[in-house]
Amino acid sequence: MLKKSFLFLFTLLTFLALYHMGAFDAIPDFPPVQELFIKSEKNVFFCDSKFSFAVTGDMRWSHEPQVAIHKDIASRSPLFVINLGDVVRWAKTSLYDSYICHLKPFLKDQVRYFHTPGKHSHEHEIYRFVPEVFSSYFGRSFYYIDVNDDWRFIVLDSSSLALPDKQLEWLENIVMDAQRNKREVAILSHCPPHFLEKGITHSLDGASSAKLIEYFKQFSVAAYFAAHIHTNTAFMCNKTPVYITALNHSTWQTEPAGYYFVEVSERKLKVISVQIEKGGQIKEKQFEIKSS
């Protein structure tokens, strides 16, 4: 009898542990929120020559800073928002559902939200790597956004901490097409390129970083946005400004919540670092980047 009771208790505890880790999560058969699902590699906007967009990253730590950022962004009515990955700690449907639940009140018809995955977006406590969960919620993981005839924003999937050859080839073709058509180009991904001179070593692998930096030399890239390293900073990589934004475990403990708000005037970017304190105070700073 005692042996059976022990076996029952062990089975129950094992089941509860597996349940908590998402072993029995069902991947949605259709996108829970259609307006967050990216179907096409090409997304087009037509608007005034002056517009704005927001860039966020690594929002997986707690809901309160997320909500404060979403609320501030909504008050500014940008054309679109790009989240650079890791909105969850593990690739569990319950965590994605929770993130979307806190985002929903701020979704507006005139503001489009885009997402790309980070490493945590696909990591699972049991199944290791499950990109199907992210794609069931958000669709494509790399794509581009054309605004009028002037701008192309290219969003990359760096969730494996590398850029596969096929994606690099796609990137080169998309950049070359933009430059032939006299579009300005900005690139966004979860991971920044490896840049030892600025202390950026928690980054894309060496081969991917080298290829990106080669593109910075070969093409005119107006800006590169990334997350991943859990800080807000900006620097020049060759002639390309690199802007990094990400929350971390100290957000709203010893550090503010931050994101980038970008104002576009014809062919120029004004990148503003927005810092939100736990008490609601908001500070803005335009980054002044000096050439290295």
What digits encode the pLDDT tens for the residues 92-141? 999 999 999 999 999 876 789 999 999 999 987 666 678 899 999 999 99
Name all domains of the chain by residue range, CATH numbers in brackets: 2-286 (3.60.21.10)
Show Cβ contacts of residue 17 under 8 Å, excluding neighbours closer than 6 positions: none
Name the phi and psi angles at 281, rounded to 5. Answer: -65, 140
Nearest to 89 by CA among 125, 64, 130, 116: 125
End-to-end CA distance of the chain: 74
Q: Provide the pLDDT for residue 265.
A: 92
Which pLDDT score, from 0 to 100, does residue 18 have?
43
Q: Which of 99, 97, 93, 101 is nearest to 25 (CA)?
A: 93
Cβ–Cβ < 8 Å for 107, 217: no
What pTM, to 2 d.p., does this model score? 0.88
Residue 67 DSSP SS3? helix
In this structure, how many other beta carbons lie within 10 angstroms of the beta carbon of residue 114? Answer: 21
Percent of the chain with pLDDT over 70: 86
Q: Are 236 and 199 in contact (CB under 8 A)?
A: no
List, run by run, the mean pLDDT of 10-residue segments along the chain (292 residues).
54 44 59 91 95 94 91 96 94 93 86 94 77 95 97 97 94 97 96 79 85 90 93 88 91 92 93 95 80 42
Percent helix, strand and coil across the chain, each to the nearest 5: 30, 30, 40
Helix/strand/coil for 19:
helix
pLDDT recorded at residue 194: 84
Q: What is the predicted pLDDT for the residue at 132?
A: 93
Ranges of beta strands (E only) in the chain are 42-45, 50-56, 80-83, 112-115, 123-124, 128-129, 143-147, 151-155, 184-188, 223-226, 233-237, 240-244, 257-265, 268-276, 282-286
Strands across the sheet containing 151-155: 42-45, 143-147, 151-155, 184-188, 223-226, 240-244, 233-237
Structure tokens at 102: 């806190």
Beta pairing class for 268-276 and 257-265: antiparallel
Task: Give the residues across from 261 on adjacent strands.
Answer: 54, 272
